[in-house]
């Protein structure tokens, strides 16, 4: 983002479904002519399998509150991130969708691991 903001690099498009608040004048790749394009990086905090539900709920509540703090939101926004805190169930569904999307891509493109590299 600093290079774009300092006019050292020109952003042609963003890879997300919606425009980035950090680059509101930059179109999405779909808007630029590739319909349906949606590739975005994301981060999540996960707990080990078997973590008691009460602990998961407590962590989720505290992390969501932290992500709503103005200084945290400002810092993440400055770096181009869009905060999307949700429930553990929403995260599980997002992970399932991502696995499905990338599994289909690997199969359709016949991508193979070259173990010799």
- Transcribe 2-71 into DSSP letters: HHHHTTSS----BSSSS--TTSTTSPBTTTTT-TT------------TT--HHHHHHHHHHHHHHHHSHH
Rounded distance between C-alpha atoms, residue 27 and residue 90, angstroms: 27
The whole-angstrom separation of Cα 117 and Cα 105 is 21
At 20, the pLDDT band (50, 70, 90 cuts) reads confident
Ramachandran region, residue 33 (left: φ > 0; alpha: ψ -120 to 50; beta: rest): left
- Over range 13-18, report the average pLDDT: 91
pTM value is 0.78
Residue 93 has pLDDT above 90, yes or no: yes
In order of 2, 52, 53, 86, the CA distances from 48 in angstroms are: 36, 10, 11, 18
pLDDT confidence of residue 116: 84
Tell me: the pLDDT tens digits for 24-51?
999 999 999 999 898 988 999 999 999 9
């Amino acid at each position: 983002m600093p290079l774009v903001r300092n006019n050292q690099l020109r952003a042609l498009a963003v890879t997300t479904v919606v425009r980035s608040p950090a680059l509101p004048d930059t179109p999405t790749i779909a808007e630029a002519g590739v319909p349906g394009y949606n590739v975005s990086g994301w981060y999540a905090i996960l707990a080990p399998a078997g973590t008691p539900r009460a602990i998961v709920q407590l962590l989720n509540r505290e992390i969501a509150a932290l992500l709503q703090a103005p200084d945290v939101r400002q810092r993440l926004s400055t770096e181009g991130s869009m905060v999307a805190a949700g429930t553990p169930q929403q995260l599980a569904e997002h992970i399932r969708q991502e696995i499905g999307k990338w599994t289909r891509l690997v199969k359709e493109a016949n991508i193979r691991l070259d173990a010799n590299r």
